[in-house]
Structures are given as structure tokens and as C-alpha cells.
């Protein structure tokens, strides 16, 4: 009898501990979908007409460019016919504003990067971009598109846990250590090289779904985001046809905040952040 009680109370404790651990993993993809903020009336941000030259933002100013330095679609196209994007491109993050910091396998997060997090319902996101995120989700909601945040900010230790899990899966499947590492980093960013560590990326899904799949790209929500996220300052960060530049698989769910202005230039010129910063650095 006593033995039985000990077994039951141990089982109970394990159950409570498991639930507690799951609850405190706020951004483990697939467990809990964050509730978006209550709907509010949102107007679509006004954008300069695409044919009109626009003023370069803080990034350009930080590089000493003139306040009224301008670009046209043609100058960007010309630039990329003359310059090939270099594999291993490193951005000078020290002069870039917070929303343009580049984080990828060649650009590891600097330790002193300041993160201001805001609670967005079971998860955290950069406080300075939270309004933009909610504006996007709420605007979509008004169009009967139900977008939910499955993942946002992830601490480096959580990233390490996800990465090690992925490596282990490949090892179990028979990969060598090196193969497993290479395969894993295409799916889960190495700790310190994930935009989720930066607090500026979200993984989105259709409300009611709890996994991140390529199929999201074909849903009404996924298709709308591709065309409209830039109006709120977000970009589809890992498009299918840019995998050779991003070194990340196609992720139709992963959106990154870069500010309205820069998101619009990237969208209109079909550039991912790496290419855009390469252009900014050489022009
Ligand atoms: Zn993501």
C-alpha cells in the first residue's frame, strides 16, 4: 500500500513537472498558439508611390550617405547585374539600426545587442516592433484571415536545445557528426545565429494549426502575408528561390521585422536582407 502511494505520488510529481516545463517553454513551436491582441481599427500605412524616389533610412545615414540619397528600381537591378552576392557576406552590424541587424550563419549575434522585449501573449517580441506585428495580424483579421504567432523570441539556451535535438535526430538516422551538423543548421539555426534570438522574427500559422509546414505558403493567410507584410514592416525572410543566399530552407511562416521603409524596398526589388545589406554596403 505504502509502495503504491509512493509510486502514485512520484507519477503525480513527474506529471506536474512536465506540465510546468511545457508551460515555461513559451515559444516551443507547436505547443501553444499565442492569442493575438484584441482587434483594433487599423489603417493601412501610407507608402510612397513605387515610382517615386524615396529617402534612404537610418542605415544610409549611418554610412554617411546624404539625407536625400535616393534609389530607383533600375539602380538596384543594375547593381545586381554588375555585382554578384558574395557567399559569406558579413554586414557591419555596428552601424546598422536595430531593425536591420543581420543574423545568419556568417553573422553571429554580438553579445552586447540590446533587446527590449514585450509580452505578446505567451511569448515575447521586440517591444519596438510589437505594434507593427499586432497591426498586421489585426488587419489580416479584418479580412477574415486568422493568423497566429507560434514562435517569437527564443533565448540562446532554448535555441541550443532545439539545435542539439535536430543534430541528434540526424545522428539517429545514421548521419556522421559532420553531416548531422550541416543538415541541422539548415533547419534550425545555430545558437546565436537565429533571428528568433534577435527578438525580431515570428513564425506564423493559421489559427488552429500548431505546426510549421510548407503548406502554410499556399493558404490564404500565407499568400496574403507574402504580398502585404512589408506594409507593416515585415519581410518573408527565407523564400524558396533564395535558399542559395540565405542557406536556410524555404520557410513560408518566418517573418522578420525590418521597418516599413526597408521592407518595402526589399519587397519591390525582390531582395532578401543579405542582398539588401550588400547593396547598401557598396552603393
Ligand atoms: Zn522562424
Query: Domain range spanning residue 277?
Result: 32-154+194-282
Q: How far is the CA of 46 from the centre of ligand 1 (A)?
A: 28
Domain count, the chain: 1
| Among 25, 270, 260, 266, residue whose Cα is nearest residue 132 | 260
In this predicted structure, what is the pLDDT of residue 25? 47
CA distance 134 to 179: 40
Q: How far is the CA of 5 from the centre of ligand 1 (A)?
A: 44
In this predicted structure, what is the pLDDT of residue 7? 63
Q: Which one is catalytic: 61, 67, 87, 251?
A: 251
Q: How far is the CA of 245 from the centre of ligand 1 (A)?
A: 17
Could you confirm whether 142 is annotated as catalytic? no
What is the mean pLDDT for each group of 10 consecutive residues in the chain (283 residues)?
66 58 44 38 35 39 41 81 93 87 89 83 94 95 96 90 93 94 88 92 95 95 96 96 93 96 90 93 79
Q: How far is the CA of 231 from the centre of ligand 1 (A)?
A: 20
pLDDT digits over 44-61, tens only? Answer: 334 333 333 333 444 444
pLDDT digits over 170-203, tens only? Answer: 999 999 999 999 999 888 888 889 999 999 999 9
Grouping H, G, I as helix, E, B as strand and the rest as coil, residue 192 is coil
Q: Kindly state whether residue 78 falls inside one of the protein's structural domains.
A: yes
Q: Kindly state whether residue 11 falls inside one of the protein's structural domains.
A: no
In this predicted structure, what is the pLDDT of residue 143? 94
Q: What is the CATH number of the domain that holds 126?
A: 3.30.1380.10
In this predicted structure, what is the pLDDT of residue 17? 57
Q: Kindly state whether residue 69 falls inside one of the protein's structural domains.
A: yes
Amino acid at each position: 500500500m505504502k509502495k503504491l502511494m509512493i509510486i502514485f505520488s512520484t507519477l503525480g510529481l513527474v506529471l506536474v513537472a512536465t506540465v510546468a516545463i511545457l508551460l515555461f517553454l513559451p515559444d516551443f513551436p507547436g505547443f501553444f498558439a499565442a492569442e493575438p491582441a484584441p482587434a483594433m481599427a487599423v489603417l493601412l500605412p501610407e507608402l510612397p508611390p513605387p515610382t517615386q524616389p524615396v529617402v534612404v533610412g537610418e542605415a544610409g545615414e549611418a554610412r554617411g550617405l546624404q539625407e536625400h540619397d535616393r534609389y530607383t528600381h533600375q539602380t538596384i537591378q543594375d547593381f545586381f547585374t554588375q555585382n554578384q552576392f558574395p557567399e559569406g557576406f558579413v554586414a557591419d552590424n555596428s552601424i546598422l539600426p536595430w531593425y536591420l541587424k543581420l543574423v545568419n550563419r556568417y553573422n553571429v549575434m554580438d553579445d552586447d545587442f540590446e533587446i527590449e522585449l514585450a509580452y505578446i501573449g505567451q511569448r515575447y517580441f521586440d517591444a519596438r516592433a510589437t505594434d507593427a506585428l499586432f497591426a498586421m495580424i489585426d488587419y489580416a483579421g479584418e479580412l477574415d484571415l486568422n493568423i497566429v504567432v507560434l514562435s517569437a523570441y527564443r533565448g540562446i539556451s532554448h535555441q541550443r536545445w532545439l539545435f542539439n535535438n535536430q543534430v541528434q535526430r540526424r545522428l539517429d538516422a545514421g548521419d556522421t557528426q559532420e553531416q548531422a551538423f550541416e543538415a541541422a543548421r539548415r533547419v534550425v539555426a545555430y545558437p546565436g545565429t537565429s533571428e528568433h534570438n534577435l527578438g525580431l522574427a515570428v513564425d506564423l500559422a493559421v489559427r488552429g494549426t500548431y505546426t510549421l509546414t510548407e503548406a502554410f505558403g499556399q493558404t490564404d493567410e500565407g499568400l496574403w502575408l507574402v504580398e502585404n507584410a512589408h506594409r507593416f514592416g515585415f519581410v518573408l525572410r527565407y523564400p524558396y528561390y533564395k535558399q542559395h543566399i540565405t542557406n536556410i530552407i524555404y520557410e513560408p511562416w518566418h517573418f522578420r521585422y525590418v521597418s516599413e521603409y526597408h521592407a518595402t524596398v526589399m519587397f519591390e526589388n525582390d531582395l532578401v536582407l543579405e542582398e539588401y545589406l550588400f547593396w547598401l554596403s557598396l552603393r
